[in-house]
Amino acid sequence: MKIIKLDVTTSTNDYLKNLSISGNISDFTIITANHQTKGRGQIGQKWDSQKDKNLLCSIYTRLNIATKHQFHLNFAVSVAVLKTLDYYKKNIFSIKWPNDIMASDRKISGVLIENTLTKNTITSSIIGIGVNINQVVFDKQSSKATSLANIIGEETNLDEFLLKLISNIKKEIELLQKGELEEIKKKYMANLYKYGIDSYFSDSSSDKFIGKITDINSDGKLVLETVIGKVVYGIKEIVFL
Binding residues vs ligand BTN (CB under 6 A)? 11-13, 36, 39-42, 45, 47, 56-58, 100, 110-112, 128-130
Q: Which is nearer to ligand BTN, 82 or 231 (by Cβ)? A: 82
CB of 171 to ligand BTN, least distance (A): 21
- CA-based angle 43:49:51, to the nearest 5? 150
Nearer to ligand BTN by Cβ, of 161 and 209: the residue is: 161
- The residue among 112 and 213 lying less far from ligand BTN, judged by its C-beta, is 112
Q: Of the two residues 57 and 148, which places its CB atom closer to ligand BTN in the complex?
A: 57
Q: CB 153 → ligand BTN: shortest distance, Å?
A: 24
Q: Which is nearer to ligand BTN, 65 or 145 (CB)?
A: 145
> DSSP of 201-224, one letter per residue?
EEETTEEEEEEEEEEE-TTS-EEE
Count of CB atoms situated within 10 Å of the CB of 31: 24
3-state SS class at 92: coil
Least distance from ligand BTN to the Cβ atom of residue 55, Å:
8
CA–CA separation, 103 and 214 (whole Å)? 21
Judge contact between 206 and 200, C-beta under 8 A: no
Separation in Å, CA 231 to CA 29, 206, 215:
40, 13, 11
Least Å distance, CB 182 to ligand BTN, is 26
Would you say 18 or 45 has its CB closer to ligand BTN?
45
DSSP structural state of residue 42:
G
Q: Give min distance, CB of 32 to ligand BTN, in A.
A: 9
Q: From the CB of 172, what's the least distance to ligand BTN, in Å?
A: 18
What pairing do the DSSP bridges indicate for beta strands 29-36 and 2-9?
parallel
Evaluated on CA atoms 229, 235, 237, 239, the torsion sign reads: positive
DSSP-assigned letter for residue 147: -
In the bound state, the residue with its beta carbon closest to ligand BTN is: 110
